[in-house]
């Protein structure tokens, strides 16, 4: 403590020049530190703007849809499948008679669809599809002038995440953005954008004076360039260091990129509100959310409203805070009028325009349980997510929709048919479903519970449940690799007993029973499996060896612990649903094992492949 006091006394005795020199040194060190921090962020800033990607999302793509001859699909589902991946100008319905004349194919069809896949990598070309209300009748290549059996469409982007938050983002080019939308944005957010070099002294002082007069933060002084830097490259800490970094980086941004590049980045990344669990990002997504239109179709009052929302999407949400939104839109329109962008008549008409009507549809993630499985596989592969990814999954959107309908129907049926057996406590029924393509092992649908929003626990991946009679298949498979007591190989026609019996093991006894206590005596093996007979199956398991059943089950993909006890034969043990799927997948492949997967391949945002399922 004394040493510290001595040091302070010596400082007091220093001449003024020394103080100035020390202050200058500290200021220089501080400046060097700030510039070093900025330098570290400069590469990230350059790369992000060049890629037109400030936030680095994780993009989820479905498996590509295939349209094939004789496919069972109705009119609306076929059009929906095409709409998901093609622009409006790339498809359309054609006159049935002219389609028949053009292709020379006879036969009854209800409608004909033209699709243009000229720019698609998989099967480029132009096609006609003739179909009835229930089936695809034929596919015709207009370039090859012959029928085709099938065509594969591109994968569909069905979800985007930033961190663990789902986002809606439809990037647009500045050249496709209405001038009224750009002028509205500049009028309310940064009127001097085209003149300043990153920050505006005039705006800073104007905001400072207004805030002092009103005794609160009534106005910000940040330019659009500063907002980009602040929101996407810096933390939200309120320190002088961060503010200095912000100013320096804004200037650097202006020296390295054009105004158009900066403005395009801004209109594609800015947060515009919330649709259900989805963050609405950028003008493109906001236009579709608020107005159900493409951005290029917006008029003056709609452009002004988009610009009005930016300052505080919660406060100026036209659906939940219409008065606030209308007042803020009026302010935007006034600034446009004052800047001579619009005249008084245009101002009046736009100011009287109605706000968009509320959309009842709140978006939810289309397959949240499935995406959880995907992210677990990404983590197990050691793929880093921080710089963004494009994940091309195995999800079949039509199969997923069918799975959701099946689960809902199944749960509703149980509630109706078995309502007297349901527990009295208010616990909702749960279910899980997982399906896969036996040829590839690609998981096509996955549901882990009745409702992800309220019950996010993923039962398809994490719930150990008794598998019951599904275990019987492995008992019979094991038997087919064994011999009878007479030394003959078991076959589907081998006679086995279906009758009551008791087996003793480890000082325990066990006596299985058939459903409704019906027994058939001596029967062929195939009959026992076909009718799922408990006693016949259990006796076969005991006679052929319980250990061999465990071995067969493990060879087919089961990894959970299994005890070689008689009750094993009737599935009195627990597996994960995905595990049972894996084992039955191997059965469907005649014993050829292939691991199930949720991912076909993964790329970074530059389309460099990081992983590919072999």
**Residues identified as active-site:** 189, 469
State residue 194 phi and psi, 5-degree precision.
Answer: -75, -15
User: Cα separations (Å) of 312 from 162, 207, 299, 305?
Assistant: 20, 17, 22, 12
Is 144 in contact with 156 (CB distance < 8 Å)? Answer: no
Tell me how far apart the alpha carbons of residues 41 and 57 are, in angstroms, rounded to a whole number.
Answer: 19
Tell me how far apart the alpha carbons of residues 260 and 248 are, in angstroms, rounded to a whole number.
Answer: 20
Distance of CA 38 to the CA centre of its chain: 33
CB atoms within 10 A of CB 280: 25
548 three-state secondary structure: helix
In 396-486, the DSSP E strands lie at: 433-436, 443-447, 465-466
Tell me how far apart the alpha carbons of residues 224 and 266 are, in angstroms, rounded to a whole number.
Answer: 7
Q: Strand pairing of 574-575 and 521-524?
A: unpaired
Find the length of the chain.
614
Please list the residues that pair with 496 across neighbouring strands: 523
Burial of 427 from C-beta contacts in 10 A (0-12 / 13-18 / 19+): exposed
Helices assigned H by DSSP within 51-158: 75-85, 96-103
92 three-state secondary structure: strand
417, containing H or E segment: helix 397-417
């Amino acid at each position: 403590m004394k040493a510290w006091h001595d040091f302070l006394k010596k400082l007091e005795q220093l001449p003024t020049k020394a103080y100035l020199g020390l202050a200058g040194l500290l200021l220089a060190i501080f400046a060097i530190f700030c510039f070093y921090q900025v330098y570290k962020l400069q590469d990230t800033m350059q790369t992000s703007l060049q890629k037109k990607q400030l936030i680095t999302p994780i993009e989820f793509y479905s498996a590509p849809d295939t349209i094939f001859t004789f496919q069972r699909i109705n009119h609306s589902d076929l059009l929906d499948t095409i709409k998901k991946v093609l622009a409006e100008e790339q498809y359309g319905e054609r006159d049935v008679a002219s389609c028949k004349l053009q292709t020379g194919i006879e036969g009854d069809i209800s409608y004909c669809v033209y699709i243009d896949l000229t720019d698609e990598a998989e099967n480029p070309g132009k096609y006609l599809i003739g179909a009835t209300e229930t089936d695809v009748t034929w596919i015709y290549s207009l370039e090859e002038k012959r029928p085709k059996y099938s065509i594969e469409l591109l994968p569909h982007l069905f979800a985007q995440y930033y961190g663990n938050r789902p986002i809606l983002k439809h990037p647009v080019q500045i050249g496709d953005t209405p001038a009224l939308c750009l002028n509205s944005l500049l009028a309310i957010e940064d009127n001097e954008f085209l003149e300043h070099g990153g920050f505006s002294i005039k705006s800073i002082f104007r905001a400072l004076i207004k805030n002092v007069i009103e005794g609160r933060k009534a106005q910000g002084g940040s330019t659009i360039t500063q907002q980009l830097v602040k929101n996407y490259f810096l933390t939200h800490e309120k320190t002088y260091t961060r503010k200095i970094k912000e100013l320096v980086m804004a200037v650097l941004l202006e020296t390295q990129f054009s105004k158009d590049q900066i403005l395009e980045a801004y209109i594609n990344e800015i947060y515009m509100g919330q649709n259900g669990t989805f963050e609405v990002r950028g003008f493109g997504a906001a236009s579709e959310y608020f107005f159900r239109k493409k951005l290029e179709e917006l008029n003056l009052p709609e452009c002004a409203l988009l610009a009005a929302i930016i300052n505080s999407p919660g406060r100026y949400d036209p659906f939940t805070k219409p008065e606030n939104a209308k007042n803020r839109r009026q302010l935007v329109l006034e600034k446009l009028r004052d800047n001579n962008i619009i005249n008084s008549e245009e101002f009046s008409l736009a100011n009287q325009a109605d706000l968009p009507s509320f959309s009842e549809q709140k978006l939810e993630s289309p397959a949240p349980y499935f995406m959880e499985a995907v992210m677990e596989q990404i983590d197990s592969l050691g793929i880093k997510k921080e710089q963004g990814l494009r994940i091309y999954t195995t999800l079949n959107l039509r199969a997923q929709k069918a799975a959701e309908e099946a689960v809902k129907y199944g749960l509703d049926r149980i509630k109706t048919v078995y309502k007297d057996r349901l527990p009295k406590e208010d616990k909702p029924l749960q279910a899980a479903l997982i399906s896969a393509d036996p040829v590839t092992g690609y998981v096509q649908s996955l549901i882990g519970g009745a409702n992800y929003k309220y019950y996010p626990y993923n039962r398809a991946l994490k719930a150990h449940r008794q598998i019951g009679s599904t275990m019987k298949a492995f008992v019979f498979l094991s038997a087919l690799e064994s011999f009878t007591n007479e030394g003959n190989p078991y076959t589907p026609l081998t006679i086995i007993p279906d009758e009551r019996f008791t087996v003793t093991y480890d000082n325990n006894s066990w006596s299985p029973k058939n459903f409704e206590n019906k027994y058939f005596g001596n029967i062929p093996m195939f009959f026992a499996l076909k009718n799922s007979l408990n006693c016949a199956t259990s006796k076969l398991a005991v006679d052929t060896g319980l250990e061999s059943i465990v071995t067969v089950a493990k060879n087919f993909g089961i990894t959970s612990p299994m005890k070689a006890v008689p009750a094993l034969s009737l599935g009195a043990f627990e597996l994960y649903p995905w595990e049972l799927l894996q084992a039955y997948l191997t059965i469907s492949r005649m014993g050829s094992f292939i691991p199930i997967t949720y991912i076909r391949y993964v790329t970074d945002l530059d389309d460099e492949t990081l992983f590919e399922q072999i």
